[in-house]
Structure 1
């Protein structure tokens, strides 16, 4: 597990965002806060509660320029079905080989099934770990993040963030940088 102040390991991967597959490279989010939450499996009770709680609080986080990524070992098809079924407005990272989970100490949460741990990292604008949530209640976790990051307070519209270029409509680009090794 990473600690507050550690550099956030960079990663390049694809993600499911609605019905699209998009490239995601963490370095493209430097200068923005990122919530990276790992969860065991799509369409399971706890993971569904957690994802829907992030969905319900997403507008508050986005208004403050905070990006949200969910990450598990599920396939692109499983992520796509999960995102569609629950109208998830944030990308679900593809990590079938667990490179991202291993780099963040989130692998082997349920070793017999090969599933990730439920753990969340907040990555600061400087690319360092700003907060770690190693044990979370899926039903209340998103609200805790919103409160801890101050996203429950109003923000003037003039300071709202711009969408990262890889999430902008009609944009397609190859991820830059190296994948986690």
Structure 2
């Protein structure tokens, strides 16, 4: 009963927060510079997440994948999990995302012992808003990089599952994503931020 209630809640919240009315063949085409669609979805860690909660705080990475417990998706999610050292150096929040149920993604995350949340969008409303649903009704393997201002910085539509963790870390570096030590240094040495212009 609890499983049904959780899945229903995820479906309804997704529909309420992202009212698109579009079908898979009439998907939106987001591009860098566009506002990233907001969402409120349950994670595999039992918490609910809203994109707007990270505004002005962190870069957000949302990696959509087709289906839990399949070959490519297992490699992709495991790659991110094994790259926690490289990714942990950036001020970023990373999420996997699929249309699987919360219980399925919880079991999937547990099977890989990963420490980042996988978001569940069983109602597909958020997936439609991001334009990731393919003709089969499953999400494409696309990864979105969202800036602190809530706008899309980049979209990786050519994800390589086995090296995705290293690829994400490399792209974050190219995008100039602040590193944790840089943020800590600015806080402890605020005078370094003073302009030297005369």
TM-score by length of 1: 0.78
Aligned to 1:16: 44
Give the CA deviation at 1:74.
Answer: 0.8
Q: Which has the higher contact order (CA 8 A, sep 6+)?
A: 1
2:184 corresponds to: 159
Which of 88, 103, 114 is the aligned partner of 1:88? 114
Equivalent position SS for 1:156: helix
Report how far residue 155 of structure 1 moved.
5.1
Are positions 1:7 and 2:35 aligned together?
yes
* Alignment match of 1:100 (pick from 87, 103, 126): 126
Matched, 1:126 2:149: yes
Consecutive unaligned residues of structure 2, counting only runs of 5 or more, are: 1-28, 186-198
Cα RMSD between the aligned structures?
2.1
Shift of 1:142: 2.2
Choose from 148, 157, 169 the match for 1:146.
169
* Partner SS for 2:82: helix
| Aligned-residue offset at 1:38 | 0.3
Alpha-carbon spacing, 1:156–1:84, altered in 2? closer, same or farther (3 Å): same
Greater Cα shift, 116-125 or 54-63:
54-63
**Matching residue of 1:164:** none
Q: Give 4+ residue runs of structure 1 displaced > 3 Å after superposition.
A: none
Native 8 Å contact 1:61 1:67 kept in 2: no
| Secondary structure of 1:37's aligned partner | strand
Q: Is the 8 A contact 1:73 1:97 kept in 2?
A: yes
CA radius of gyration, larger in: 2
Match for residue 136 of structure 1?
159
**Structure 1 runs not aligned, ≥5 long:** 161-181
Q: How many residues align?
A: 153
Structure 1 position 63, deviation (Å): 2.9
The structure in which a higher percent of residues are strand is 1
Residues 91 and 180, structure 2, Cα contact 8 Å, conserved in 1:
no
Residue from 51, 67, 72 that aligns with 1:26: 51
User: Which structure features the higher share of helix residues?
Assistant: 2
